[in-house]
Every structure is written in C-alpha cells, then in structure tokens.
Structure 1
Amino acid sequence: MDAAGLAKLLSPHGWALLSALPPYDETRTMAISDRLRREGIDADLIAAALTQSRLRAKAHAKFDSFADGMLFTPAGLEQATRLTVAAHHARRYVAAGVTRVADLTCGIGADSMAFAGVGLTVLAADTDELTAALATVNLRHFPEAVVRHTDGLTLDLEAEGVDGLYADPARRASTGKRLFDPGAYSPPLDSVLALADRVPALGVKIGPGVPHAGLPAAAETQWVSVDGDVVEAGLWFGPLAPDGPGLTALVLRGQSARVVRDELGGAAPDVGPVGAYLYEPDGAVIRAGLVAQIAAEVGGRLIDKTIAYITSDALHASDAATGYRVLDTLPFGLKRLRTYLRERDVGRLTIKKRGTAVLPEELRGRLDLRGHQEATIVLTRVAGAQHVLVVEPL
C-alpha cells in the first residue's frame, strides 16, 4: 500500500468498506473482490481493503481484538511487539518514574500504544512516511501520543522534555533477510546505545538470537517468551533495570508472568542419571543461560552437561518449564525403537529433540508406525550418549 492507497482507505467510503468486510477468508477473497468491482468500487481501494483485512486477521495473534481497528504493513506487523509484551515494556517506564517517552523507531505504533495506554506522554518517530502515517492512525485514540515523520535519532531530546527512550531497530534487510549483525540494524545498535549518556532510561528491543558475548555490560538483557515461543530480547538501562545489569527471562504463559533471574551466583547445576521426571525449561530461560535456576527450583539435575533437559526423582511444578513423566529410557537405535513402539501399538508419535542431528520427520517415516496408540519420545544425549526417553506430558 502506498500513500495514495492509504488516502483512499482513510476516506469515509474507504473506512466504511474496510469495516464492512466479513472476517477474512482466503477462499472467499476473489469472490468478494469480483462482487465489489461489479458494484463499481475502485479496484485500488478494494485491493487495499482486502490487504488490510488479511493483515488484521494475522495481527490477532499479537493484538487480539485491537487489530480490528488498526492498519498494518507486512513488514510493520512482522516486527511489531505483541501487545502483551509491550504492556510489560510500558510498566518498566512507569515504575522508573518516566513521564515522557520518545519511541525513536515506532513502526506501526505497537509499543507507543502500550506507553500511552498506561498514561505516559509519547513522542513517536519513524523515518518511513507511510509507516508514520499508519502509526498516527493506530494511535488516534491516544491524545497523549504524537507521531512525527522523522529520524528519531535527530530529535532534540532535551528540548522535547523526554525522560525515557525506546527503540526497536529494524533487523531485516530490504530483501526481507534477517540481520544478525547489530551494526547492520537500522539505525545501528551502537548509535542507539550511545543515547543512554543523554537519557539514562533507555530500552532497546533486539532479536532473541543475540550472542551473550556482544551484550552491553551495563544493561539488563531480558529474553521474553509467549506461550513457549521466544519472541524477543530487550536491553534495559539505568532506572529501567532497577535490579542492575544481568541476564533475565520473562516467561508469559496465558495470564501468568514470571521473571527468572540468577539467584545462584552463576553456580552450575549437577549432572546425573535420568529420574522419574523430565523438565524442558522455557526457551527464554535457556537463552538467558538460567537453566541452573530451574534445576534448583525442581530439585533436579541435568541429564547431560551440554543439554538443557533437567530430571528429578520427585515431581515439582514449575511455571518456567514443561514437565514430563519418564516411562522408559533406552539407547538410541532405529531397529530397537521401531520394535519397542510396534510392541506397544503406537501409531501417532510426538518427537522432541535436543542435542541430536536426527530429523524427526525423517525418523517418523523410517519407523513406519501403524498402530492405534499415541506416544511422546525425546531424542537427546544422556551422559554423552544418544538415548530415547519415552515420556508422558504432565
């Protein structure tokens, strides 16, 4: 969608058309388009409205029902922070006593919406004119928020009275390829981090694959997962990190939220034999290097010093790990595993893996199972050797 398409969509007729479209169904798109053309509606407006209908349907995963009143670009939706996560960002600024936030790379305005939603005054900026226009639409219900089409790094922060900064640098090239070099972000990460000297309350969203070696020592780096999916990492400076620098994990599951931090002084977990229960720590916990914290929490030990699976002899619930009851343990071997599963009439198999090169779909095909029962197996290393753990989800 270009500026002309947006203008048509924002006209009273265009907005009414978008609001009147039925819930998006790809199988009905062509028929709807043909019907609207026969009614004499402009082809470009039809295309823009149907595109927004499709993006809104996709955006429900991040914005729930709020998506139905928002506008998107594909790239803007891809990078936008989930509203549940953005709410946690906003609470940091409130807790730090910040009153006016500059969202330096606002995109479609997801984080700015959360900031304004908790009562912060927001100055949002984006270098792309269309994106800034969409952010203006998405923030239309928040008089506390102003959007500018400008480079956020050029804002006169002192003159604007800003006491908090937030940035979400673009991490994809123009080709859509994901960027892993922070120097290739737009704007470059170093340029954003330098602003902490001027406004100490700085937060920066980065990709969750960031290596520990490149993290700034002065920041709290927090990995965030939503229902088991690791969605981002964030760098938090100054008053936004009240517990000081370090590595933490924010685990969001349903309506619950749990922050995991190192309370063991970096102590390594014990390693020992497979017990009655197996735990898979949340991905954010693993990325943050906090597996030992979960092992201590469940009274457990690692099954291998290089693998993030924890085992225990007694059941201990954890809101930062998925638990399984261990039914059997056997050395890995295709023929042995096939015989084992066929003897138990297994036809539906869930395969989890860690620390092995075996491809689950390839293995499933070679097992050629035709039974009526269901099973879950874990392919992993135990004390350095490949094993299969037959488990039952708790």
Structure 2
Amino acid sequence: MDTSELTALLTPDGLRLLDELGPVASTDDAARAVSRLRAAGHSPDLVSAVVGQSRLRVRAAAKFGAFADRMLFTRAGLEQATRLSIAARHAGRFRAAGVESVADLGCGIGGDALGLAGLGIRVHAVDADEVTAAIAAYNLAPFGEAATVAHARAEDADLTGMDAVWLDPARRTAGHSETRQVASGEWSPSLEWVFELLRRTPGGVKLGPGFDRSQIPDDVEAQWISADGSTIELVLWAGALARDHVRRAALVVRGGDAWELTAPADSPDAEQRELGAFVHEPDGAVIRARLIGEVARALEAGMLSPQIAYLTSDTPLTSPFVQSFRVREQLPADPKKLAQALRARGIGTLEIKKRGVDVDPAVLRKKLSLRGDEAATLLLTRVGSTRLALLADRV
C-alpha cells in the first residue's frame, strides 16, 4: 500500500466500501471484486486499497482472530507482526512488573501495542515509516488517548514519562510488500543503540529465533517462543522485566495453553544412550534455548546421538516440551529396501521427520510409492555415521 492508496482508503466512503466488500480469499475473488468496483466507478487507488485490505484481513485472522476484520495492514507489516495471543503474553509481563506506560519503538502495524493497550497499559507507539505509522494509528484508535502513535525514528522518540520500552528493530529492507532480510549491522535502530537503551531502561526487544547467541548480553533474560509448533521469536528482557535467576527460557504455546521451561544458563545435554522404546523430539524453543538436557532428565531420557535433537527413553513419560513417539521397529535406511518394508506393512499414510541427515522428505516420499490403509511416522536420523529409519507412532 502506498500513500495514495491509504489516502483514498482513510475516508468514510473508503472504509464503508471496505466493510461492505467482505472477505476476499482468493485471486479469483480479487479479480471479480476489482472488476465490480471499477465498473461501479470507484478510482483505481481506492479499488486497489480496498481489495488489498480485504485479502490481508483474511490472512490476518490467523494472527488477530476476529480483530482482523476491523484492522488495516500492509503485507510486510502483517508478516512481521506479533500474533495477538503472544502480544498479550508480553503485555502481561509488563503489567506483572508494575509498568503503567510503554514506548513501543518500531511498532509496525501495532500488534504488540494492541496487547499492551488491551491490558490497560498506556502506549506511545513509534514507527519510522509514514504509511505504517498511519495504519498503526488507525488500529489503535479505539483506545483513544491511552494509545498514541508518532511517525518518527526510534532514536528520536521522546521517552519522557515512559516506564519501559518495547523494541522491534527493522530487520528487513524498507517497503510494504516484498522485503528481504538484512545483516544485523544494518538493523534500524542498531543493536548497539537498542542494548544501550535497555541498560538504562526496563524493557524487551523482539528478535528472530535464530539470532546469534554470541551477541546476547550476559545481563538479560533470553526467552525463545514457539506457537503451535513453530519457533517464532526470541525476546530479550532487561531490567525489571527480566526474572531473577533466569537467563534462558523456552515458552511453548499451543492454542490457548502455554508451558514454560526456565534455567539460569544453558543446560548441559544428557548422556547418549542406546535406542529405547520411545523417541522424543524437543520443541524448537527448547532447542534454541539449549534446555534439551532439562527436558531429558525430566523424561528419564538420553541423547540418541550427540548434537542431534532426538531423545530416547524406555519409560512412557512425555511433556509439552516434546513430541513423543513409540518406536515400532527399525527399518532399512536404503530407500528401495525401506519402500519394500513399508509396503509389506501396508503403510499408505506416512509422516516423515528427520534430523541430522540430508534427506528431502518430499523426494523420498515419491520414491517410497506408499500403498495401504495403515498410518505411521518415519523418523530419519543417524548415530555416528550409521543412518537410522525408525517406524513409530505418535504418543
């Protein structure tokens, strides 16, 4: 969305037309909507903005639920926005720390600011992009003076009266649609500026889950977060927002439920052991936080192979921090022999998971020529130089 499209949209008639149009879910739906609206005499800018927003609202439902139907987006802003359920958890930490006002620096379309304002925390949101700031202002308008938005650089924001800060540095090229990642030295604001601010002001900074761990300051809490099976972000908490004696945390969210594992430092891995009756795959947040050892000891499990995130045990224990599988048997790892073994067992539906081996599951699936009414999971991994193919069932 560019400035001309936003200007056309942010009028009573433009917003009314958007609400009347309803969901636009597919390319065909979009083409029909464009033809209909252009035939009705609406300007190209307004038609483009309305149809584009309708499509984005459909996509945004996964992150914002019913709220998406009353929000505005850019494509890039939606992709980078925090899910509202996760934003609410971030906001809960601010409220638990007694924070009453937060400066959201790099607010994007306002996802995290919505979570903060929704818990009654006063928010001053700032974004360096004019269109994005205008969209954030629209999305936060229901909160009135409790949520203000400014078009400005994070470095120039007035933090007077703010108890804490929330930062989401721009880690991609500027733009509202197609963007690409940039090196950490090109982030805006810079990491150096962010970390200096967090040394002086309580707060948190949202980063990608693959952030270079060597750059994490020693005096912050690093919390990796996964949602519905995907590791989505790393948050570094500083000052009063960091918990005592916690430097590593893995927060696992599934639907409306959440579980967290915390430790004062990286956890030593468990000892390696022979394949047992069960194999456990730690959640991505646990792996990123290097807390596999904590989970292994709780499950009475060991590492199936060093440096590969599969655990094995003989006990039927499981936890929210792993996916657990009961091993049926070990099959040949050679694709031809594996295909024969699966056909002999009538396996027609197969989930393929792999760690530590160079295998493309989609290519392998074609080679297996699956047939039958049975279903199972195939775990592909290695112990040393020996490849393993384990036929298993989810627990």
Q: Return the alpha-carbon distance in structure 2 between the equivalents of residues 108 and 3 of structure 1.
A: 15
Matched letter for residue 188 of structure 2: S
Task: Map 1:140-159; keep pairs closer than 5 Å.
Answer: 140-143=141-144, 144-157=146-159
TM-superposed CA distance for 1:263, in Å, is: 7.1
Summarize the Cα distance change of 1:147–1:75 in structure 2 as closer, same or farther, 3 Å threshold.
same
Counterpart contact for 1:123–1:145, Cα < 8 Å = yes
* Residue of structure 2 equivalent to 1:367: 368
Matched letter for residue 278 of structure 2: Y
* Residue of structure 2 equivalent to 1:12: 12
Q: Return the alpha-carbon distance in structure 1 between the equivalents of residues 98 and 275 of structure 2.
A: 48
Work out the number of aligned pairs and report it: 390
Counterpart contact for 2:203–2:238, Cα < 8 Å = yes
Matched letter for residue 391 of structure 1: A
Which range is displaced more, 24-33 or 354-363? 24-33
Cα deviation digits, residues 12-67 of structure 1 (max 9, x gap): 11111100113223222212221222222222211110000111111111111111
Summarize the Cα distance change of 1:171–1:263 in structure 2 as closer, same or farther, 3 Å threshold.
closer
Cα deviation digits, residues 270-315 of structure 1 (max 9, x gap): 2111111111111111111111111112111111122111111121
Counterpart contact for 1:280–1:308, Cα < 8 Å = yes
* Residue of structure 2 equivalent to 1:393: 394
TM-superposed CA distance for 1:152, in Å, is: 2.1
Is 1:193 paired with 2:205? no
Counterpart contact for 2:125–2:148, Cα < 8 Å = yes
Which range is displaced more, 266-275 or 52-61? 266-275
Matched letter for residue 198 of structure 1: R
* Residue of structure 2 equivalent to 1:177: 180
Is 1:166 paired with 2:166? yes
Q: Return the alpha-carbon distance in structure 2 between the equivalents of residues 328 and 241 of structure 1.
A: 45
TM-superposed CA distance for 1:383, in Å, is: 5.2
Counterpart contact for 1:329–1:390, Cα < 8 Å = yes
Q: Return the alpha-carbon distance in structure 1 between the equivalents of residues 10 and 317 of structure 2.
A: 54
Tell me which stretches of 4 or more aligned residues in structure 1 moved more than 4 Å. none
Unaligned residue ranges in structure 2 (runs of 5+): none
Cα deviation digits, residues 323-361 of structure 1 (max 9, x gap): 111101235222321221121122332211000012112
Q: Return the alpha-carbon distance in structure 2 between the equivalents of residues 196 and 365 of structure 1.
A: 51
Matched letter for residue 189 of structure 1: L
Task: Map 1:272-351; keep pairs closer than 5 Å.
Answer: 272-351=273-352
SS at match of 1:337: helix
Cα deviation digits, residues 245-273 of structure 1 (max 9, x gap): 51211100111111112379833312111
Q: Return the alpha-carbon distance in structure 1 between the equivalents of residues 52 and 244 of structure 2.
A: 44
Task: Map 1:221-260; keep pairs closer than 5 Å.
Answer: 221-244=222-245, 246-260=247-261
CA RMSD of aligned residues (A): 1.7
Which range is displaced more, 282-291 or 182-191? 182-191
Counterpart contact for 2:277–2:315, Cα < 8 Å = yes
Counterpart contact for 2:281–2:310, Cα < 8 Å = yes
Cα deviation digits, residues 178-224 of structure 1 (max 9, x gap): 23x3222111111111112331x121001111122221111111110
TM-superposed CA distance for 1:121, in Å, is: 0.9
Counterpart contact for 1:71–1:134, Cα < 8 Å = yes
Unaligned residue ranges in structure 1 (runs of 5+): none
Cα deviation digits, residues 67-108 of structure 1 (max 9, x gap): 111101111111111111111111111111111111111111
Q: Return the alpha-carbon distance in structure 2 between the equivalents of residues 37 and 385 of structure 1.
A: 63
* Residue of structure 2 equivalent to 1:212: 213
Counterpart contact for 1:153–1:192, Cα < 8 Å = no
Q: Return the alpha-carbon distance in structure 2 between the equivalents of residues 204 and 123 of structure 1.
A: 16
Q: Return the alpha-carbon distance in structure 2 between the equivalents of residues 90 and 229 of structure 1.
A: 21
Q: Return the alpha-carbon distance in structure 1 between the equivalents of residues 91 and 150 of structure 2.
A: 20
Counterpart contact for 1:217–1:245, Cα < 8 Å = no
Cα deviation digits, residues 343-383 of structure 1 (max 9, x gap): 11223322110000121122122222333433320100135
